[in-house]
Structures are given as C-alpha cells and as structure tokens.
C-alpha cells in the first residue's frame, strides 16, 4: 500500500508521533471512544502515543495499513482509517473514526473509499469485512455507502470505553472485479 493517498478533499498519510495530541483529544470524546472497541476513556496522551506505536508495529508485521486522515492543505490529523487483519489468516477489515468537529462531512466515506481502492490495487481484490455497534447507525450508513452488506447474526464485541460488551453487526464487502 502506498504511504500517501489523496482524494478530492483529503490526504491519507502515515501516522506520526506528532499526531498523538489530536488522537488523544478526539479519542477522549466519549461519543467517539465508545464507538470503537480499542479506545479507553479517558484517552490520555500517553495512551494515544502507545496506540500509534502499536498501529505502526502492526503495519511492520504486515497486519495493518493505518492512515492519518487529514484535510488537503492542512496536515493535522482529523481521524484514522485503517485496513487490518486480526491474524495472518483473517480477511482484511476496515476500521475508522473522525473527531466530532468533522462529523457529517462525508470524510469517513471518502477516506475509506480511497483506502479500499488502494487495497484492491496493491493487495488484490478480495472480500473485506467491518463491524459497527448497533447504536452507531451513522457508521452502518458509511459501510452501506461503501457497498458493504450486513452479514450474520448480531454479536457482542467489547468496547474499552464502555468497559463492557456492546451489540454489534458484522458487514462484508464482496470482492470487486
């Protein structure tokens, strides 16, 4: 996967240490954190630094392709889009979030669409998967706009910010030819 992906309004670039402050700021928002499985609440700067280091380590292992989402002309992180595998045999899974000030602008859909196109070009076409908590209908709408379909029964997935399991829905995007 390329280190830099551009869309009409966005630049997806590699995560850097300097992104930790914004990562922490946006991730501390309970309404952002509770819609992820991996964000604690609160999400202090040190946790954001470790999260960025972990994402980069997963990239080196060939298990993730995380990108900072930035707006063109600005180099400040507004969110993250990531294509990752839970293990070497898993399908590629897409995950994403953006800070509250950027909600409702279509940035996640735009970023993830570009990420999926890049994945098809560089990793080869294949089925992709995703998940969304059922109390996050906006995330489900993003996935559906990207062509994902609901798949299987509802299940429970642990959310660190909630400190409990929450009901989630799996999605699948069939390989595009």
**CATH code of the domain covering residue 82:** 3.40.630.30
Please report, to the nearest 10 degrees, the dihedral formed by the alpha carbons of residues 140, 90, 173, 134 taken in order.
-20
Q: What is the pLDDT of residue 176?
A: 75
Question: Does 48 fall in a domain?
Answer: yes
pLDDT band of residue 66 (cuts 50, 70, 90) is very high
- Which residue range forms the structural domain that includes residue 60? 4-124
- For residue 36, tell me if it sits in a domain: yes
pLDDT in tens, 29-39: 999 999 999 99
Contact 21, 45 (CB under 8 A): yes
pTM score: 0.96
Res. 9: pLDDT tops 80: yes
Binned at pLDDT 50, 70 and 90, residue 151 comes out as very high
Does 162 map to a domain? no
Asked, for residue 34, whether it belongs to a domain, the answer is yes
Residue 149 lies in a domain: no
Burial class of residue 86, CB neighbours in 10 A (0-12, 13-18, 19+):
exposed
Number of domains present in the structure of the chain: 1
> What pLDDT score was predicted for residue 11?
98
In a domain, 151, yes or no: no
Rounded Cα distance, 89 and 71, in Å: 34
For the chain, the average pLDDT equals 96
CA distance 113 to 164: 31
d(CA 66, CA 41): 21
Q: How large a percentage of the chain has pLDDT more than 90?
A: 98
Give the confidence band of 20 by pLDDT, cuts at 50, 70, 90: very high
- The reported pLDDT for the residue numbered 177 is 63
| CA atoms of 21 and 37, how far apart (whole Å) | 20
Mean pLDDT of all residues in 131-150: 98
In a domain, 169, yes or no: no
46 lies in some domain: yes
Residues 78 and 98: beta-carbon distance below 8 Å: yes
């Amino acid at each position: 996967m390329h280190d830099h992906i551009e869309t009409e309004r966005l630049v997806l670039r590699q995560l850097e240490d300097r992104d930790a402050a914004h990562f922490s700021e946006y991730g501390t928002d309970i309404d952002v954190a509770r819609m992820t499985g991996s964000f604690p609440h609160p999400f202090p700067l040190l946790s954001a630094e470790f999260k960025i280091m972990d994402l980069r380590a997963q990239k080196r292992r060939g298990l993730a392709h995380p990108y900072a989402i930035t707006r063109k002309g600005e180099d400040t992180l507004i969110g993250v889009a990531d294509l990752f595998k839970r293990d070497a045999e898993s399908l590629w899974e897409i995950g994403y979030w953006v800070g509250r000030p950027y909600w409702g602008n279509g940035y996640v859909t735009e970023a993830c669409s570009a990420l999926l196109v890049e994945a098809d070009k560089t990793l080869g076409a294949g089925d992709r998967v995703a998940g969304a908590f059922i109390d996050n209908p906006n995330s489900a709408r993003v996935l559906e706009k990207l062509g994902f379909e609901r798949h299987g029964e509802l299940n429970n997935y642990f959310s660190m910010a909630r400190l409990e399991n929450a009901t989630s829905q799996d999605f699948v995007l069939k390989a595009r030819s």
